[in-house]
């Protein structure tokens, strides 16, 4: 990264809440050194609570460069490392254990002399030391303890400012529990525990860095080094986002602010030019997406209980480890509707998008249509497309084209309601009429009278629901369920109109037409009248919501309508 990119990244880390930040390897390049100096020399760039950490091997010239880079900082950690495993010592350095120990002690003493014991630097800066026995996981633990004891004595830590003894799994080479056993032995063996902070530095070569860090903390470590989104050498360091939010999911506050995780991810991707995998824990685009019908149904039921206040004090939503809103995600992105989706996913989408809570049977019927369309499209469907499909399938905004004309009349003296309608059934015009104590009973009477069956089995049931789009407008939708002997399942009608009774009439006739009760054989959706028949409905034009107005009501764009 450039100095500017590092600057942006550093500010993001500070905003997130990190207080110990490894900012550079100053002797590695001029860019690393210059960036560190810019942090130190820019007023207000580093909050007083933040420690700047710089890395150096146990080599005097590198240590001098590291100390020079943070001279003048308020708080600085010099991070020294030296190989502790026999294989590293023999293959790379050709040194014995004692030679490595002596070199480490000499370097720590030198570091102390030019930092906290220095007459000027010691007053300018609060210094601390972190020492890492490199390849700890491949090292005899007893030797790691011996090495760290010698370093600790050379540095002279205090309870107020304990030395950081960092235990790296430089190359992950064992199961997490085995690494945790090594950490536990180290923690039990090291002396002056009140002057020591045991830290972990897990790499992810076996894909177990998060588990190793968690078990290592249970074994006694109190600090973990890592990177956001698992960046780092080879397969990366432990992912601090996953580690922190795992704690959060269990009720432990990591004291890090991931409420805008998408923004953090965006900065990381722009600066590192490495994309976060869409299935990365917590941060991935697909983390909270449910495609399976059973999963969607479970999530929908979980949110119903949450809205009802049954799980107010505890997050208990199936398939969602944490509340998506806690990390800046929306509930609308939780469910993606495709050919696998069931009633729960469709119901969730309509409820979240326009506040429409369909009856369970209607959910099942409409979800079959959605699945079929999604299967033909060979892709997921957007909420806008699902709303449009619902409106078009059930002619919610107008009337079923098979209903040529319809009217209702309130009978005098409160004797009920009469209805009349001109319908197209089986390709033929059909006049029907009936009466009853309300419009639903009157429609049922009309349908029974017109039925070709001598003893038609018919039942109409009405539901009133509301549409509550995000723009705050609320409208009523009338839904009618028709149960008849012709169909094993119910048929449905739905209509939005300012005249509630007319909306019920239109919904009821539409449901009956789908059921096939009005003719000798069942009708298919779309069996409409010929073009010479002019639709006419006996009600005031303003009684029916204009389609374009309703599109604006539910927030449908012209692009979404065109693709639906």
User: Long-range CB contacts (< 8 A, 24+ apart) of 525-528?
Assistant: 525/393, 527/402, 527/424, 527/426, 527/427, 528/401, 528/402, 528/424
Per-residue pLDDT tens over the stretch 260-284 = 999 999 999 999 999 999 999 999 9
Distance CA 418, CA 21 (A): 79
What is the CATH code of the structural domain delimited by 403-545? 3.30.160.270
User: Do 403-545 and 3-272 have the same topology in CATH?
Assistant: no
Radius of gyration for the chain, computed over Cα atoms and rounded to the nearest angstrom? 35
Question: What pTM value is reported for the model?
Answer: 0.76
- Residue 542 has which token pair? 């303003």
Of 83-97, 148-162, 345-359, the poorest mean pLDDT is in 345-359
Structure tokens at 351: 């409820």
> Tokens representing 145?
């303890």
Give 551's pLDDT tier (boundaries 50, 70, 90): very low
Of the candidates 320, 252, 338, the one whose C-alpha atom is nearest the C-alpha of residue 281 is 320
> Has residue 228 got a pLDDT over 90?
yes
Structure tokens at 549: 């107005």
Got the DSSP string for 422-473? EEEETTEEEEEEEEESSHHHHHHHHHHHH-SSSS--EEEEEEEEEE--TTS-
Q: Enumerate the domain spans of the chain.
A: 3-272, 293-393, 403-545
| Both structure tokens of 556 | 């449908």
The separation between CA 142 and the C-alpha centre of its own chain, rounded to angstroms, equals 44
Topology classification of domain 3-272 = TIM Barrel (3.20.20)
Q: Give the Cα separation of 389 and 278 in Å (integer).
A: 29
For residue range 353-403, list pLDDT tens digits in order.
888 889 989 998 999 999 899 889 888 888 889 988 998 898 888 778 888
Give the pLDDT score at 561: 37
Q: Which residue has the tokens 């502790």?
A: 84
């Amino acid at each position: 990264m450039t100095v500017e990119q590092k600057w942006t990244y550093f500010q993001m880390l500070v905003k997130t809440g990190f207080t110990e930040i490894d900012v550079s390897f100053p002797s590695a390049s001029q860019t690393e050194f210059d960036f560190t100096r810019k942090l130190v020399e820019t007023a207000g760039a580093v909050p007083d609570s933040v420690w700047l950490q710089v890395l150096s091997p146990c080599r005097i010239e590198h240590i001098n460069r590291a100390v020079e880079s943070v001279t003048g900082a308020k708080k600085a950690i010099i991070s020294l490392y030296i190989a502790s495993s026999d294989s590293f010592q023999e293959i790379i350095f050709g040194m014995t254990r004692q030679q490595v120990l002596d070199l480490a002690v000499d370097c720590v003493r030198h570091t102390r002399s030019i930092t906290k014991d220095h007459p000027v630097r010691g007053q300018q800066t609060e210094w601390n030391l972190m020492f890492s026995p490199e390849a700890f996981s491949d090292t005899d633990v007893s030797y790691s303890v011996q090495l760290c004891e010698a370093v600790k004595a050379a540095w002279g830590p205090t309870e107020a400012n304990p030395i950081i003894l960092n235990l790296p799994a430089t190359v992950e080479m064992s199961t997490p529990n085995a690494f945790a056993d090594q950490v536990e032995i180290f923690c039990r063996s090291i002396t002056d525990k009140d002057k020591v902070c045991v830290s972990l530095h897990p790499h992810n070569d076996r894909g177990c860095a998060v588990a190793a860090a968690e078990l290592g903390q249970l074994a006694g470590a109190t600090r973990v080094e890592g990177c956001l989104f698992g960046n780092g050498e080879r397969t990366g360091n432990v992912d601090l986002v996953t580690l922190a939010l795992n704690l959060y999911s269990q009720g432990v506050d990591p004291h890090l602010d991931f409420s805008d995780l998408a923004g953090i991810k965006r900065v990381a991707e722009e600066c590192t030019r490495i994309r976060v995998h869409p299935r990365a824990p917590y941060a991935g685009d697909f983390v909270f997406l449910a495609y399976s019908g059973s999963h969607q149904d479970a999530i929908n039921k979980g949110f119903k209980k949450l809205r009802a206040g049954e799980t107010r004090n505890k997050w208990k939503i199936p398939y969602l480890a944490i509340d998506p809103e806690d990390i800046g995600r929306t509930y609308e992105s939780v469910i993606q509707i495709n050919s696998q989706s069931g009633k729960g996913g469709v119901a969730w989408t309509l409820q979240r998008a326009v506040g429409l809570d369909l009856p369970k049977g209607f959910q099942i019927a409409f979800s079959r249509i959605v699945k079929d369309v999604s299967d033909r499209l060979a892709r997921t469907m957007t909420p806008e497309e699902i709303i449009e499909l619902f409106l078009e399938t059930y002619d919610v905004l107008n009337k079923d084209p098979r209903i040529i004309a319809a009217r209702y009349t309130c009978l005098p003296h409160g004797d009920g309601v009469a209805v009349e309608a001109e319908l197209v059934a089986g390709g033929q015009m059909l006049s029907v009429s009936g009466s009853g104590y309300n419009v639903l009973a009157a429609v049922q009477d009309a349908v029974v009278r017109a039925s070709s069956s001598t003893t038609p089995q018919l039942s109409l049931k009405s539901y009133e629901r509301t549409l509550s789009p995000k723009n705050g407008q609320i409208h009523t939708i009338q839904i009618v369920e028709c149960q008849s002997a012709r169909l094993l399942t119910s048929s449905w009608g739905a209509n939005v109109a300012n005249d509630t009774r007319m909306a019920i009439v239109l919904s009821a006739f539409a449901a009956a037409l789908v059921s096939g009760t009005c003719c000798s054989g069942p009708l298919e959706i779309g069996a409409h009248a010929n073009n010479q028949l002019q639709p006419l409905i006996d009600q005031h034009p303003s009684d029916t919501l204009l389609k374009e107005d309703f599109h604006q009501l539910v927030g449908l764009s012209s692009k979404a309508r065109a693709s639906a």
